[in-house]
Amino acid sequence: MTLNPGDLAPEFTLSDTEGNSVSLSDFRGQPVVLYFYPRDNTPGCTKEACGFRDLYAQYLAENIAVLGVSTDDAKSHTKFVSKYQLPFPLLCDEGGKIASLYGSYGLKKFMGREFMGVYRHTFIIDGEGKIVKIYRKVKPADHGAEVLKLFTEQ
Q: Return the active site residues.
A: 45
Q: How far apart are CA 123 and CA 104, in angstroms?
A: 10
End-to-end CA distance of the chain: 31
**Three-state DSSP class for residue 24:** helix
Q: How far apart are CA 24 and CA 26, in angstroms?
A: 5
DSSP 129: S
Ramachandran class of 41: left when φ > 0, alpha when ψ lies in -120 to 50, beta otherwise: left
CA 138 from centroid of its chain's CA atoms: 12
Q: How far apart are CA 8 and CA 65, in angstroms?
A: 17
